[in-house]
């Protein structure tokens, strides 16, 4: 008997009919002889609606009370889903995050999981029940308070449960058929990936891909959890996210590929034929801004001063570029950071302008970041040349460049980012033969 953890997002449980459809899928998994644990998000836009309501009654809601409010959405979903399963003749038990043993730190609104003690879940499974867990929430042992995990918290809940229960796979159900080479809403002919390495998925998530949240991918990679991303609206096989260095995960991915090839009657059925494509996908991010520190004395220690100040403001820095020193002995240092951190970083730098001795600051929140990701880059020359040529031929200017072993990121104008990604997608042969389907329009 396999143990499968399934996660259903808000669009998958948006209304009563959707909940019944999800319940039927869960029951089918149980009938196939599997133990089933489900992590569920709040229905549809419930979380956003609760957040709006909180701000209507209090301009700055108390963090503890906000978590109490925000965790209510998942409790509604879990109870309704358990009722639907019971109505189909199967035993189901719902649990809040705290009842499920999701132990977190005390940070309200963005808590981190520190331990998972799923004792009650294991007991319910042993008694033959289907287990439903409210995603996105946990419990701090010191304060005895409910906490929430932040955006994407239900993904993280599912992965953490899979790790703690030693599940065979963690299935993440969304409103698209798997992980695509690019967001299908931007590139309609984006191609679905059958498998992708956890390393590649981590880079895509870190650079703006929304189908999986980075914290969930990090947790899965760290704890050896194999992910299966698929649609809750059909029975397509989806995408496996796996660690190729893990023999069990690699075997699972190979079996998945064999199933797909058998269904389509294409390609070889060799379970070892898993050569990675050069490029796994493209991701974009419009949530960052750029700060340029102008006229910095080109002497040792100045960069350290600047980034110490920025770090103390709480800002998370992404890309950094320092210009070649001019004949005046001055240089410019540019870096990107989340827009939400921009004003705090600017305020901190202005307060220390005299100490650092820079001339001025420039702030630009109309930038877009594009990242090209693929483990195959390690063994393929000419990737950078093709990328830059495609952008040049589309008339798109590059402002910043950053690279890793499996990623090239560039910053350009926000209003050209969609044109840029379509040009890159086509240049690298990532376009599919047909348009991808987004069943509920959100990608979650």
Q: Is residue 354 included in any domain, yes or no? A: yes
Q: Report the percentage of the chain scoring pLDDT > 70.
A: 95
Mean pLDDT of 292-301: 95
Based on the domain organization, do 227 and 366 belong to the same domain? no
Question: What's the pLDDT tens digit per position in 217-263?
Answer: 999 999 999 999 998 888 888 999 999 988 888 898 898 888 887 77
Based on the domain organization, do 290 and 229 belong to the same domain? no
Q: Is residue 147 included in any domain, yes or no? A: yes
Residue 68 Cα to chain centre, angstroms: 24
Based on the domain organization, do 290 and 374 belong to the same domain? yes
Based on the domain organization, do 115 and 234 belong to the same domain? yes
Q: In this predicted structure, what is the pLDDT of residue 265?
A: 56
CB 38 within 8 A of CB 132: yes
What's the CATH code of the domain at 75?
3.40.1160.10
Mean pLDDT of 139-152: 94
Q: In this predicted structure, what is the pLDDT of residue 443?
A: 40
User: Is the dihedral angle over the CA atoms 163, 29, 173, 139 positive or is it negative?
Assistant: negative
Based on the domain organization, do 176 and 245 belong to the same domain? yes
Q: Is residue 251 included in any domain, yes or no? A: yes
Based on the domain organization, do 252 and 285 belong to the same domain? no
What's the CATH code of the domain at 303?
3.30.2130.10
Based on the domain organization, do 233 and 287 belong to the same domain? no
Range of the domain at 329: 279-427
Based on the domain organization, do 288 and 232 belong to the same domain? no
Based on the domain organization, do 20 and 147 belong to the same domain? yes
Based on the domain organization, do 142 and 195 belong to the same domain? yes
For 60, counting Cβ atoms within 10 Å of its Cβ (0-12 exposed, 13-18 middle, 19+ buried), the class is: exposed
Q: In this predicted structure, what is the pLDDT of residue 323?
A: 86
The DSSP code for 440 is S
Based on the domain organization, do 231 and 367 belong to the same domain? no
| Number of domains comprising the chain | 2
Q: Which residue bears the tokens 């959890």?
A: 225
240, 275, 310 — which closes off a domain? 275
């Amino acid at each position: 008997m396999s143990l499968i953890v399934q996660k259903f997002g808000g669009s998958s449980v948006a209304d009563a009919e959707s909940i019944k459809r999800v319940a039927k899928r869960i029951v089918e998994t149980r009938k196939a002889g599997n133990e089933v644990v489900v992590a569920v998000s709040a229905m549809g836009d419930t979380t956003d609606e609760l957040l709006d309501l909180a701000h209507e009654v209090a301009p700055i809601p108390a963090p503890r009370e906000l978590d109490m409010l925000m965790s209510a959405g998942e409790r509604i979903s879990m109870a309704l889903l358990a009722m639907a399963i019971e109505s189909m003749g199967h035993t189901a038990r719902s649990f809040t995050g705290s009842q499920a043993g999701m132990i977190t730190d005390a940070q309200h609104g963005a808590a981190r999981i520190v331990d998972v003690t799923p004792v009650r879940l294991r007991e319910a499974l042993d008694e033959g029940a289907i287990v439903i867990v409210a995603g996105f929430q946990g419990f701090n042992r010191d304060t005895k308070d409910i906490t929430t995990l932040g955006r994407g918290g239900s993904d993280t809940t599912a992965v953490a449960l899979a790790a703690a229960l030693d599940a065979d796979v963690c299935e993440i159900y969304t409103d698209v058929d798997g992980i695509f080479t690019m967001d299908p809403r931007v590139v309609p002919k984006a191609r679905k990936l059958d498998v992708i390495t956890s390393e590649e998925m981590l880079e895509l998530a870190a650079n703006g891909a929304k189908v999986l949240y980075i914290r969930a991918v990090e947790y899965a990679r760290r704890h050896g959890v194999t992910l299966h991303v698929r649609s809750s609206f059909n029975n397509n096989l989806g995408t496996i996210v796996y660690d190729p260095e893990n023999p069990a995960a690699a075997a699972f991915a190979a079996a998945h590929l064999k199933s797909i090839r058998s269904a389509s009657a294409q390609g070889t059925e060799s379970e070892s034929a898993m050569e990675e494509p050069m490029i796994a996908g493209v991701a974009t991010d419009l949530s960052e801004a750029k700060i340029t520190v102008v006229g910095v004395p080109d002497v040792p220690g100045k960069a350290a001063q600047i980034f110490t100040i920025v770090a103390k403001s709480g800002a998370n820095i992404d890309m950094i570029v320092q210009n070649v020193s001019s004949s005046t002995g001055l240089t410019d240092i540019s870096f990107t950071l989340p827009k939400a951190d921009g004003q705090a970083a600017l305020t901190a730098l202005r307060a220390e302008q005299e100490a650092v001795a820079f001339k001025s600051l420039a702030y630009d929140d109309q930038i877009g970041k594009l990242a090209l990701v693929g483990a195959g880059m390690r063994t393929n020359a000419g990737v950078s040349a093709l990328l830059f040529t495609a952008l040049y031929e589309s008339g798109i200017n590059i402002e910043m460049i950053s690279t890793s072993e499996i990623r090239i990121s560039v910053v350009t104008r926000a209003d050209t980012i969609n044109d840029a990604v379509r040009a890159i997608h086509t240049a690298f042969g990532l376009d599919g033969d047909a348009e991808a389907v987004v069943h509920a329009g959100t990608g979650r």
